[in-house]
């Protein structure tokens, strides 16, 4: 499989090169040269295949021959070594829980897959890789866990000061010595800009082998398509085959972009709903055709506080940069914090289910879509365990949440973090 830069198609790369580089030399995102539909036999057998068998069939074309089949199966087995429960809330509303991994967020899948691919590529070499990642909350924790004490790697995490939850910050700052956490005086978009600036910094490139662990990296982004296949298998078991809508809480848009890849692979998905908070750049784009990011707004759903989502360029490419084609298969709604709180209460009171603020927005988007598309079945993604947003959930639902083991074991650990205000400070800290 070859990849190319979305800024310049003549800049090409193998899977290995794309993973280790993270982003193309022109700051463009890597994109597969082609996406081949999986054959009819695979889909006819889907209901009988294990999640590991599905994962291998989905991922092997994107990896190509650069990881042998036995090793790829081993990597995937480790990547998906936890549950992905589909929970029925009503006759036509379901939620997919993606928080049963080590850091209790959907990003565990991509982070684990990427870390193990990098470990495979640099194993038995003298090469050291510096993994640079910006996080609005959950990405950093998942990457820190995925790379924790992985030999040959140094992990550098940037997160916006005061804009992640207490538990998320614990997950960012209590890892092995190969993980450094930088608290940035700014927004997630400021953190993301620093990451992109680092990749074109000639001084850094001389001394560090940089790669990104954000969903701009193909190894972080593409494995997220597996959720959709696992879900559609479960719907096939329920004899629900062709009216399934996915509502995805969307910040940097990697998760929903991976779902569109799944549909390009032939998975029968009726429609995608990108459910966002008040950072509504894509919602406005679909309404007026103008892509105009505003200043990032702080919300209760902090992992989605992104005003310039990197992966939307990939989404446009998947729809051939045709706004009409996007609108045929893709809808976006935005919701504010007041609506989010009301949704948390509605889900709890009407369905006896505890959601987190991001899942609540996914629920709102699905509910709004189904209002005019009543004959469909819908799934909203519950992307993080409610405990990660304990104060918001407990205060609004008047409940006490229990700490799961994954969280309990880090509560008493001491935070290790460094504070910076500018890219120059980051560069100095990395180089010296």
Kindly report, residue by residue over 125-157, the tens digit of the pLDDT: 777 889 998 988 778 888 888 888 788 889 999
Residue 116 has a pLDDT of 92
Task: Tell me the pLDDT of the chain averaged across its residues.
Answer: 94
In the block, residue with structure tokens 């495979």: 120
Asked whether the predicted pLDDT for residue 356 surpasses 90, the reply is yes
User: Which class for 279: exposed (0-12), middle (13-18), buried (19 or more C-beta within 10 A)?
Assistant: buried
User: Which class for 38: exposed (0-12), middle (13-18), buried (19 or more C-beta within 10 A)?
Assistant: middle
How many other β-carbons are positioned within 10 Å of the β-carbon of residue 103? 29
Look at residue 50 and tell me if it is in a domain: no
Question: How, if at all, do strands 93-97 and 153-160 pair?
Answer: unpaired
Look at residue 196 and tell me if it is in a domain: no
The count of C-alpha atoms lying within 13 angstroms of the C-alpha of 270, restricted to the half-sphere facing its C-beta, is 19
Residue 364, domain extent: 84-106+221-401
**Nearest-angstrom CA–CA distance, 247 and 270:** 11
Look at residue 295 and tell me if it is in a domain: yes
Look at residue 65 and tell me if it is in a domain: no
Q: 422: Cβ–Cβ under 8 A, 6 or more apart, which residues? A: none
CATH number at residue 309: 3.40.50.1100
**Nearest-angstrom CA–CA distance, 358 and 350:** 18
Look at residue 153 and tell me if it is in a domain: no
DSSP 241-310: -S-EEEEEE-SSSHHHHHHHHHHHTT----EEEEEE-S--HHHHHHHHS-----PPPP-SSGGG--SS-T
**Nearest-angstrom CA–CA distance, 349 and 179:** 41
What counts of helices (H) and strands (E) characterise the chain? 20, 14
Question: How, if at all, do strands 2-5 and 12-14 pair?
Answer: antiparallel
Predicted confidence band at 324 (pLDDT cuts at 50, 70, 90)?
very high
**91-111 average pLDDT score:** 95
Residue 86 has a pLDDT of 98
**Nearest-angstrom CA–CA distance, 354 and 161:** 27
55 membership: H or E segment, kind and range: helix 51-63
**72-100 average pLDDT score:** 97
Predicted confidence band at 205 (pLDDT cuts at 50, 70, 90)?
confident
Question: Number of folded domains in the chain?
Answer: 1
The pLDDT tens digits for 282-300 are 999 999 999 999 999 999 9
How many other β-carbons are positioned within 10 Å of the β-carbon of residue 317? 15
Predicted confidence band at 432 (pLDDT cuts at 50, 70, 90)?
low
Look at residue 225 and tell me if it is in a domain: yes
**Nearest-angstrom CA–CA distance, 227 and 157:** 25
Q: Lowest-pLDDT range, 36-40, 87-91, 189-193, 230-234?
A: 189-193
Look at residue 372 and tell me if it is in a domain: yes
Residue 125 has a pLDDT of 78
**62-68 average pLDDT score:** 96
Look at residue 412 and tell me if it is in a domain: no
Identify the residue with better confidence: 80 or 205: 80
**Nearest-angstrom CA–CA distance, 90 and 139:** 31
Question: How, if at all, do strands 86-88 and 330-334 pair?
Answer: unpaired
**220-247 average pLDDT score:** 95
The count of C-alpha atoms lying within 13 angstroms of the C-alpha of 207, restricted to the half-sphere facing its C-beta, is 10
Asked whether the predicted pLDDT for residue 124 surpasses 90, the reply is no
**150-175 average pLDDT score:** 90
**205-225 average pLDDT score:** 90
Residue 227 has a pLDDT of 96
3-state secondary structure of 88: strand
């Amino acid at each position: 499989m070859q990849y190319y830069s979305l800024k310049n198609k003549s800049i090409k790369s193998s899977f290995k090169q794309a993973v280790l580089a993270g982003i193309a030399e022109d700051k463009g995102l890597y994109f597969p040269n082609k996406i081949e539909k999986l054959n009819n036999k695979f889909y006819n057998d889907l209901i009988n295949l294990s999640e590991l068998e599905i994962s291998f069939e989905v991922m092997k074309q994107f990896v190509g021959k650069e990881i042998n089949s036995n090793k790829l199966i081993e990597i995937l087995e480790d990547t998906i070594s936890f549950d992905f429960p589909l929970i029925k809330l009503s006759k036509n509303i379901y939620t997919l829980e993606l928080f049963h991994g080590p850091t209790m967020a959907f990003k565990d899948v991509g982070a684990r897959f990427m870390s193990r691919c990098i470990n495979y590529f640099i194993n038995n070499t003298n090469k050291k890789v510096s993994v640079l990642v910006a996080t609005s909350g959950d990405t950093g924790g998942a990457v820190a866990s995925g790379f924790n004490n992985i030999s040959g790697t140094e992990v550098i995490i940037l997160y916006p000061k005061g804009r992640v939850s207490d538990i998320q910050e614990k997950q960012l700052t209590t890892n092995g010595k190969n993980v450094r956490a930088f608290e940035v005086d700014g927004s997630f978009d400021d953190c993301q800009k620093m990451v992109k600036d680092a990749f074109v910094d000639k001084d850094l490139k001389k001394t560090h082998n940089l790669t990104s662990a954000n969903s701009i990296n193909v190894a972080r982004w593409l494995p997220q398509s597996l959720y959709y296949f696992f879900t559609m298998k479960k719907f096939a078991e329920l004899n629900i085959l062709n009216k399934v809508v996915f509502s995805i809480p969307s910040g940097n848009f990697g998760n929903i972009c991976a779902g569109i890849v799944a549909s390009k692979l032939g998975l029968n998905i009726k429609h995608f709903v990108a459910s966002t908070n008040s950072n509504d750049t894509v919602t406005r784009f679909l309404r007026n055709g103008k892509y105009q990011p505003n200043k990032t707004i702080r919300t209760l759903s902090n992992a989605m506080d992104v005003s310039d989502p990197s992966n939307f360029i990939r989404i446009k490419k998947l729809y051939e940069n045709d706004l009409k084609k996007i609108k045929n298969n893709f809808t976006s709604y935005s919701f504010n914090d007041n609506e989010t709180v009301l949704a948390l209460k509605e889900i709890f009171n009407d369905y006896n289910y505890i959601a987190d603020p991001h899942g609540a927005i996914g629920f709102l988007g699905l509910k709004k879509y189904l209002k005019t598309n009543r004959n469909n079945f819908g799934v909203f993604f519950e992307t993080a365990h409610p405990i990660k947003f304990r104060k918001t959930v407990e205060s609004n639902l008047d409940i006490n949440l229990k700490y799961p083991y994954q969280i309990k074991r880090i509560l008493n650990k001491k935070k290790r973090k460094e504070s910076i205000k500018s890219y120059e400070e980051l560069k100095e800290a990395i180089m010296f």
